[in-house]
Amino acid sequence: MIFVGRLPAADQRETAQNTDPAVLKTLSLEELSQIDVISPSREPQRAFRTPMAIYVITGEEIRRSGFTTIPEALRLAPGVEVARIDANKWSIGIRGFGSRLSRSVLVLMDGRTVYTTFFAGTYWEVQDTVMDDIDRIEVIRGPGGTIWGPNAVNGVINIITKDPKDTQGLLASVRTGNQEQGVATVRYGGTALGDRLNYRVYAKGFTRGPEYHLDNRNFDDWRAAQGGFRMDWEASERDTINFQGDIYKEEAGERVTATSYTQPFSQNVDANADLAGGNILGRWKRSLTSGGDFQLQAITIAPAAMSRTSLNSGTHST
Protein backbone atom coordinates (compact mmCIF):
# COMPACT_ATOMS: atom_id res chain seq x y z
CA MET A 1 0.00 0.00 0.00
CA ILE A 2 1.39 3.39 -1.02
CA PHE A 3 0.27 6.66 0.53
CA VAL A 4 0.84 10.09 -0.99
CA GLY A 5 1.43 13.07 1.28
CA ARG A 6 3.99 14.88 3.38
CA LEU A 7 6.68 13.49 5.68
CA PRO A 8 8.10 15.32 8.69
CA ALA A 9 11.51 16.04 7.19
CA ALA A 10 11.70 18.52 4.32
CA ASP A 11 13.59 16.23 1.97
CA GLN A 12 11.29 13.29 2.74
CA ARG A 13 8.27 15.53 2.17
CA GLU A 14 9.40 16.28 -1.38
CA THR A 15 10.15 12.60 -1.98
CA ALA A 16 6.66 11.49 -0.93
CA GLN A 17 4.97 14.05 -3.14
CA ASN A 18 6.97 12.81 -6.12
CA THR A 19 5.60 9.28 -5.41
CA ASP A 20 8.74 7.52 -6.58
CA PRO A 21 8.06 3.86 -5.65
CA ALA A 22 11.76 3.01 -5.43
CA VAL A 23 12.35 5.72 -2.81
CA LEU A 24 9.13 5.07 -0.88
CA LYS A 25 10.21 1.44 -0.40
CA THR A 26 13.22 2.64 1.61
CA LEU A 27 11.04 4.40 4.21
CA SER A 28 10.41 2.74 7.55
CA LEU A 29 6.94 1.89 8.86
CA GLU A 30 7.22 4.79 11.29
CA GLU A 31 7.98 7.22 8.45
CA LEU A 32 5.11 5.87 6.36
CA SER A 33 2.74 6.32 9.32
CA GLN A 34 3.52 10.06 9.33
CA ILE A 35 2.19 10.58 5.80
CA ASP A 36 -0.85 12.86 5.54
CA VAL A 37 -4.22 11.82 4.10
CA ILE A 38 -7.25 14.08 3.65
CA SER A 39 -10.44 12.02 3.37
CA PRO A 40 -10.88 10.76 6.98
CA SER A 41 -11.19 14.24 8.55
CA ARG A 42 -11.37 16.61 5.53
CA GLU A 43 -8.00 17.99 6.61
CA PRO A 44 -4.44 16.65 6.18
CA GLN A 45 -3.95 14.08 8.93
CA ARG A 46 -1.20 11.60 9.72
CA ALA A 47 -2.07 8.09 8.66
CA PHE A 48 -1.37 6.50 12.06
CA ARG A 49 -3.89 8.86 13.69
CA THR A 50 -6.63 7.87 11.26
CA PRO A 51 -9.23 5.65 12.98
CA MET A 52 -10.41 4.25 9.64
CA ALA A 53 -9.41 1.69 7.04
CA ILE A 54 -8.06 3.92 4.28
CA TYR A 55 -6.27 3.00 1.05
CA VAL A 56 -4.75 5.40 -1.46
CA ILE A 57 -4.49 4.64 -5.18
CA THR A 58 -1.74 6.84 -6.58
CA GLY A 59 -1.70 8.36 -10.04
CA GLU A 60 1.41 6.34 -10.80
CA GLU A 61 -0.43 3.11 -9.99
CA ILE A 62 -3.26 4.11 -12.32
CA ARG A 63 -0.80 4.92 -15.10
CA ARG A 64 1.03 1.61 -14.72
CA SER A 65 -2.23 -0.37 -14.58
CA GLY A 66 -3.38 0.84 -17.99
CA PHE A 67 -6.93 1.48 -16.80
CA THR A 68 -8.68 4.18 -18.83
CA THR A 69 -11.79 4.78 -16.69
CA ILE A 70 -12.24 5.70 -13.03
CA PRO A 71 -14.45 2.69 -12.19
CA GLU A 72 -11.82 0.31 -13.54
CA ALA A 73 -9.09 2.09 -11.55
CA LEU A 74 -11.03 1.37 -8.35
CA ARG A 75 -10.19 -2.32 -8.82
CA LEU A 76 -6.75 -1.44 -7.39
CA ALA A 77 -8.22 -0.80 -3.92
CA PRO A 78 -8.79 -3.83 -1.66
CA GLY A 79 -12.30 -4.12 -0.29
CA VAL A 80 -13.87 -2.32 -3.27
CA GLU A 81 -16.03 -4.59 -5.43
CA VAL A 82 -16.21 -3.50 -9.07
CA ALA A 83 -18.58 -5.51 -11.26
CA ARG A 84 -19.15 -4.59 -14.89
CA ILE A 85 -22.80 -4.74 -15.94
CA ASP A 86 -22.22 -4.01 -19.62
CA ALA A 87 -19.83 -1.94 -21.72
CA ASN A 88 -20.74 1.37 -20.03
CA LYS A 89 -22.22 0.51 -16.62
CA TRP A 90 -20.72 -0.70 -13.35
CA SER A 91 -21.88 -1.91 -9.97
CA ILE A 92 -19.48 -0.59 -7.31
CA GLY A 93 -19.61 -1.12 -3.58
CA ILE A 94 -17.51 -1.49 -0.46
CA ARG A 95 -17.46 -4.51 1.84
CA GLY A 96 -20.02 -6.47 -0.15
CA PHE A 97 -22.68 -3.77 -0.60
CA GLY A 98 -22.40 -3.13 -4.33
CA SER A 99 -25.16 -1.66 -6.49
CA ARG A 100 -25.69 -0.04 -9.87
CA LEU A 101 -25.94 3.49 -8.41
CA SER A 102 -23.65 3.05 -5.35
CA ARG A 103 -26.20 4.74 -3.07
CA SER A 104 -24.37 3.76 0.12
CA VAL A 105 -20.98 5.13 -0.95
CA LEU A 106 -20.17 8.84 -1.04
CA VAL A 107 -18.17 9.72 -4.16
CA LEU A 108 -16.37 13.05 -4.45
CA MET A 109 -14.14 14.68 -7.03
CA ASP A 110 -11.98 17.52 -5.66
CA GLY A 111 -14.44 18.01 -2.81
CA ARG A 112 -17.51 18.03 -5.06
CA THR A 113 -20.05 15.28 -4.51
CA VAL A 114 -21.05 13.54 -7.74
CA TYR A 115 -24.27 12.08 -6.31
CA THR A 116 -27.19 12.73 -8.68
CA THR A 117 -30.19 13.75 -6.58
CA PHE A 118 -32.72 13.48 -9.42
CA PHE A 119 -31.94 9.80 -9.91
CA ALA A 120 -30.72 9.01 -6.36
CA GLY A 121 -27.31 7.59 -7.13
CA THR A 122 -23.91 7.91 -8.75
CA TYR A 123 -23.82 7.39 -12.49
CA TRP A 124 -20.31 6.04 -12.97
CA GLU A 125 -20.46 6.31 -16.76
CA VAL A 126 -20.38 10.13 -16.54
CA GLN A 127 -17.62 10.40 -13.90
CA ASP A 128 -14.65 11.12 -16.11
CA THR A 129 -11.60 13.34 -16.46
CA VAL A 130 -8.12 13.12 -17.95
CA MET A 131 -6.68 10.05 -16.23
CA ASP A 132 -3.17 11.55 -16.27
CA ASP A 133 -4.50 14.46 -14.18
CA ILE A 134 -5.58 12.25 -11.25
CA ASP A 135 -3.16 12.69 -8.35
CA ARG A 136 -4.69 9.99 -6.14
CA ILE A 137 -7.92 8.29 -5.13
CA GLU A 138 -8.48 7.94 -1.38
CA VAL A 139 -10.83 5.10 -0.40
CA ILE A 140 -12.31 4.80 3.09
CA ARG A 141 -13.77 1.37 3.77
CA GLY A 142 -16.35 1.83 6.50
CA PRO A 143 -18.91 4.34 7.78
CA GLY A 144 -18.02 8.02 7.35
CA GLY A 145 -21.38 9.71 7.81
CA THR A 146 -20.42 11.59 10.99
CA ILE A 147 -17.89 13.64 9.00
CA TRP A 148 -19.11 13.53 5.40
CA GLY A 149 -22.88 13.32 5.89
CA PRO A 150 -25.38 11.44 3.67
CA ASN A 151 -24.45 8.45 1.50
CA ALA A 152 -21.20 7.73 3.37
CA VAL A 153 -22.79 4.66 4.97
CA ASN A 154 -20.35 2.04 3.70
CA GLY A 155 -17.45 4.26 2.66
CA VAL A 156 -16.06 7.29 0.87
CA ILE A 157 -14.29 7.48 -2.49
CA ASN A 158 -12.46 10.80 -2.91
CA ILE A 159 -10.92 11.47 -6.34
CA ILE A 160 -8.26 14.20 -6.11
CA THR A 161 -6.76 15.75 -9.24
CA LYS A 162 -3.32 17.33 -9.53
CA ASP A 163 -2.64 21.00 -8.94
CA PRO A 164 -2.48 22.98 -12.20
CA LYS A 165 1.15 23.85 -11.44
CA ASP A 166 1.95 20.13 -11.81
CA THR A 167 0.27 19.85 -15.23
CA GLN A 168 2.04 22.55 -17.19
CA GLY A 169 2.51 22.38 -20.95
CA LEU A 170 0.71 20.45 -23.66
CA LEU A 171 -0.53 16.87 -23.43
CA ALA A 172 -2.11 15.15 -26.42
CA SER A 173 -2.91 11.48 -26.82
CA VAL A 174 -4.80 9.26 -29.25
CA ARG A 175 -5.72 5.60 -28.79
CA THR A 176 -7.54 3.13 -30.96
CA GLY A 177 -8.36 -0.56 -30.87
CA ASN A 178 -11.16 -3.09 -31.13
CA GLN A 179 -12.76 -2.10 -27.79
CA GLU A 180 -11.61 1.51 -27.44
CA GLN A 181 -12.31 2.34 -31.06
CA GLY A 182 -11.17 5.93 -30.75
CA VAL A 183 -10.05 8.05 -27.77
CA ALA A 184 -8.56 11.54 -28.14
CA THR A 185 -7.38 13.80 -25.30
CA VAL A 186 -5.88 17.30 -25.33
CA ARG A 187 -4.84 19.21 -22.22
CA TYR A 188 -2.89 22.45 -21.83
CA GLY A 189 -1.58 24.05 -18.63
CA GLY A 190 -0.02 27.46 -18.14
CA THR A 191 0.69 30.30 -15.70
CA ALA A 192 -0.14 34.00 -15.43
CA LEU A 193 0.17 36.94 -13.03
CA GLY A 194 3.79 36.21 -12.27
CA ASP A 195 3.25 32.49 -11.63
CA ARG A 196 0.61 33.23 -8.99
CA LEU A 197 -2.17 31.95 -11.26
CA ASN A 198 -1.89 28.39 -12.55
CA TYR A 199 -4.49 26.91 -14.87
CA ARG A 200 -5.27 24.04 -17.20
CA VAL A 201 -7.95 23.31 -19.77
CA TYR A 202 -8.79 19.98 -21.36
CA ALA A 203 -11.04 18.33 -23.91
CA LYS A 204 -11.55 14.66 -24.59
CA GLY A 205 -13.79 12.44 -26.61
CA PHE A 206 -14.16 8.74 -27.21
CA THR A 207 -16.15 6.03 -28.85
CA ARG A 208 -16.05 2.58 -27.27
CA GLY A 209 -17.42 -0.62 -28.71
CA PRO A 210 -20.00 -2.94 -27.12
CA GLU A 211 -19.35 -6.13 -25.24
CA TYR A 212 -19.79 -9.50 -26.92
CA HIS A 213 -23.41 -10.70 -26.96
CA LEU A 214 -24.57 -14.13 -28.05
CA ASP A 215 -27.59 -12.68 -29.88
CA ASN A 216 -25.33 -10.26 -31.81
CA ARG A 217 -27.43 -7.28 -30.66
CA ASN A 218 -24.67 -4.84 -29.78
CA PHE A 219 -26.79 -2.39 -27.83
CA ASP A 220 -24.22 -1.09 -25.33
CA ASP A 221 -21.83 0.96 -27.44
CA TRP A 222 -20.68 4.22 -25.86
CA ARG A 223 -19.75 7.70 -27.12
CA ALA A 224 -18.90 10.85 -25.19
CA ALA A 225 -17.33 14.31 -25.36
CA GLN A 226 -16.17 16.27 -22.32
CA GLY A 227 -14.27 19.45 -21.54
CA GLY A 228 -13.24 21.37 -18.45
CA PHE A 229 -10.83 23.72 -16.72
CA ARG A 230 -9.21 24.47 -13.38
CA MET A 231 -7.55 27.65 -12.08
CA ASP A 232 -5.65 28.08 -8.80
CA TRP A 233 -4.88 31.69 -7.82
CA GLU A 234 -2.62 32.65 -4.92
CA ALA A 235 -4.35 35.95 -4.18
CA SER A 236 -2.08 36.67 -1.21
CA GLU A 237 0.22 34.90 1.21
CA ARG A 238 -2.83 33.72 3.16
CA ASP A 239 -5.55 33.44 0.51
CA THR A 240 -5.92 30.85 -2.25
CA ILE A 241 -8.82 30.80 -4.70
CA ASN A 242 -9.73 27.74 -6.76
CA PHE A 243 -12.16 27.77 -9.67
CA GLN A 244 -12.97 24.76 -11.84
CA GLY A 245 -15.70 23.22 -13.95
CA ASP A 246 -16.65 20.47 -16.40
CA ILE A 247 -19.27 19.87 -19.09
CA TYR A 248 -20.10 16.63 -20.88
CA LYS A 249 -22.46 14.98 -23.35
CA GLU A 250 -22.78 11.21 -23.84
CA GLU A 251 -24.68 8.52 -25.66
CA ALA A 252 -24.71 5.27 -23.69
CA GLY A 253 -26.44 2.28 -25.24
CA GLU A 254 -28.59 0.21 -22.94
CA ARG A 255 -31.26 -2.49 -22.88
CA VAL A 256 -34.55 -1.90 -21.08
CA THR A 257 -37.14 -4.60 -20.37
CA ALA A 258 -40.72 -3.42 -21.01
CA THR A 259 -43.56 -5.48 -19.56
CA SER A 260 -47.31 -5.52 -20.28
CA TYR A 261 -50.43 -7.50 -19.42
CA THR A 262 -50.84 -8.78 -22.98
CA GLN A 263 -48.67 -10.98 -25.14
CA PRO A 264 -45.73 -11.14 -25.49
CA PHE A 265 -45.81 -9.78 -21.87
CA SER A 266 -42.14 -8.85 -21.92
CA GLN A 267 -39.94 -7.14 -24.51
CA ASN A 268 -36.31 -6.02 -24.51
CA VAL A 269 -35.98 -2.56 -26.01
CA ASP A 270 -32.51 -1.47 -27.17
CA ALA A 271 -31.97 2.30 -27.05
CA ASN A 272 -29.52 5.11 -26.39
CA ALA A 273 -29.51 7.03 -23.11
CA ASP A 274 -28.57 10.64 -23.91
CA LEU A 275 -26.68 12.06 -20.92
CA ALA A 276 -25.55 15.65 -20.48
CA GLY A 277 -24.52 17.81 -17.54
CA GLY A 278 -21.94 20.11 -16.04
CA ASN A 279 -20.63 21.67 -12.86
CA ILE A 280 -18.79 24.75 -11.58
CA LEU A 281 -16.93 24.86 -8.27
CA GLY A 282 -15.43 27.86 -6.48
CA ARG A 283 -13.36 27.57 -3.29
CA TRP A 284 -11.67 30.22 -1.12
CA LYS A 285 -9.12 29.08 1.46
CA ARG A 286 -7.53 31.35 4.08
CA SER A 287 -4.60 30.28 6.26
CA LEU A 288 -4.76 31.49 9.85
CA THR A 289 -1.83 32.76 11.88
CA SER A 290 -2.49 30.04 14.45
CA GLY A 291 -1.60 27.41 11.85
CA GLY A 292 -5.12 26.38 10.90
CA ASP A 293 -7.29 27.46 8.00
CA PHE A 294 -10.89 27.75 6.91
CA GLN A 295 -12.55 27.27 3.53
CA LEU A 296 -15.63 28.60 1.80
CA GLN A 297 -16.93 26.52 -1.09
CA ALA A 298 -19.78 27.02 -3.57
CA ILE A 299 -20.91 24.51 -6.19
CA THR A 300 -23.33 24.77 -9.09
CA ILE A 301 -24.32 21.51 -10.74
CA ALA A 302 -26.39 21.01 -13.86
CA PRO A 303 -27.95 17.57 -13.28
CA ALA A 304 -27.56 14.87 -15.86
CA ALA A 305 -30.28 15.18 -18.46
CA MET A 306 -31.44 11.82 -19.69
CA SER A 307 -33.58 10.78 -22.61
CA ARG A 308 -33.83 7.67 -24.73
CA THR A 309 -33.80 7.48 -28.50
CA SER A 310 -34.22 4.47 -30.71
CA LEU A 311 -31.00 2.63 -31.46
CA ASN A 312 -32.18 -0.55 -33.15
CA SER A 313 -35.13 -0.80 -35.49
CA GLY A 314 -36.95 -3.51 -33.57
CA THR A 315 -37.55 -5.16 -30.27
CA HIS A 316 -37.44 -8.78 -29.31
CA SER A 317 -39.47 -10.82 -26.88
CA THR A 318 -38.27 -12.78 -23.90
Give me the CATH number covering residue 56.
2.170.130.10
Give the model's pLDDT for residue 195: 87
Number of domains comprising the chain: 2
* Burial readout 14-37 (b: 16 or more C-beta within 10 A, e: otherwise): ebbeebeeeebeebeeebbebbbb
Return all residues near 216 (Cβ < 8 A) that are at least 6 apart: none
- Whether 192 and 150 map to the same domain: the answer is no
- 148 and 170 together in one domain: no
Q: Is the pTM of this model over 0.85?
A: no
Q: What is the pLDDT of residue 26?
A: 66
Last residue of a domain, one of 117, 147, 162: 162
Q: Are residues 120 and 174 in the same domain?
A: no
Taking alpha carbons only, the member of 2, 124, 135 closest to residue 69 is 124
- Whether residues 111 and 168 share a domain: the answer is no
126 and 9 in one domain? yes
26 lies in which domain range?
A: 1-162
257, 302 Cβ separation under 8 angstroms: no
**pLDDT recorded at residue 312:** 41
- Regarding whether 66 and 86 lie in a shared domain, the answer is yes
Please give the pLDDT value at position 228.
96
Q: Are residues 85 and 171 in the same domain?
A: no
Same domain, 157 and 171: no
Tell me, what's the pLDDT at 268? 83
217 and 113 together in one domain: no
Domain end point (choices 112, 136, 162): 162
> Tens digits of per-residue pLDDT, 50-91?
556 788 898 999 999 989 999 999 999 998 999 999 889 999
- pLDDT per residue as tens digits for the range 23-41: 656 666 556 555 566 655 5
What pLDDT sits at residue 56?
Answer: 87
Q: What 3 state SS string does 188-202 have? A: EEEEECCCCEEEEEE
* Ramachandran category for residue 71: left, alpha or beta (phi over 0 → left; psi -120 to 50 → alpha): alpha
Low-confidence stretches of the chain (pLDDT beneath 50): 1-19, 308-318
Q: Are 158 and 44 in contact (CB under 8 A)?
A: no
Judgement on whether residues 145 and 294 belong to the same structural domain of the protein: no
Same domain, 169 and 292: yes
Tell me, yes or no, whether 38 and 135 share the same domain. yes
Domain boundary among 162, 194, 220: 162
